[in-house]
Amino acid sequence: MDILAVGQWLKDSSLLISLCCIGIGLAILIYFLMANSRLNRYRQLLKGSQGKDLEKVLLNYAETTQIIYQKINKFEEKFLANQVLEEKHLQKIGLVRFKAFQNSGGDQSFALALLDGSGDGVVISSIFGRDEARVYCKPVQQGISNYPISDEEKEAIEKALGNFKK
């Protein structure tokens, strides 16, 4: 193609080229306005509530959340430690009153079981007679005593453990 032909083509197509340039310019202007609108919304979003920078607000929330998680973990550790300690407190009690001797009046004798959550503790019994009273204390581990126990002491342990059936 020679220069004259190109020149003639430019002359003949000048209207078309001008329209294309105007169209491209309008498209660029529209895209610029859309980008500017989104940028303004982004700036408002980053500005956050009460004029605070959203990045600072989010970092503050993240820091606060981390502190809350640490406190929750500490509370959970304390809770689990308290559960272990709770098992060691006396919490199961069984009392049986009975008449040890036929010639004594009333149910003055008793067997008292004091046990923790795992069934460890003591059974205390008092035998009341007309002229004397005797007190016995026997250790209990997991609801069982290594010492010989009376029926009343056994009943008191069963009551404390919740296994008593009348």
Q: How confident is the model over 43-101, as pLDDT tens digits?
A: 777 776 666 677 777 888 999 999 999 999 999 999 999 888 888 888 899 999 988 87
Predicted TM-score (pTM) of the model is 0.54
Q: Which of 15-19, 46-50, 120-124 has the highest mean pLDDT?
A: 120-124
How is the chain split into domains, by residue range? 1-47, 92-161
29 vs 13: CA distance, rounded Å: 24
Answer whether residue 166 shows pLDDT above 60: no
Q: The tokens 């209207």 sit on which residue?
A: 15
Query: How many angstroms separate the most distant Cα atoms in the chain?
Result: 145
In the block, tokens 């919490």 appear at 91
pLDDT-derived band at 135 (thresholds 50, 70, 90) equals very high
Distance CA 151, CA 166 (A): 13
Residue 156 pLDDT level (bands cut at 50, 70, 90):
very high
**pLDDT grade for 36, boundaries at 50, 70 and 90:** very high
User: What average pLDDT does this structure show over 27-53?
Assistant: 83
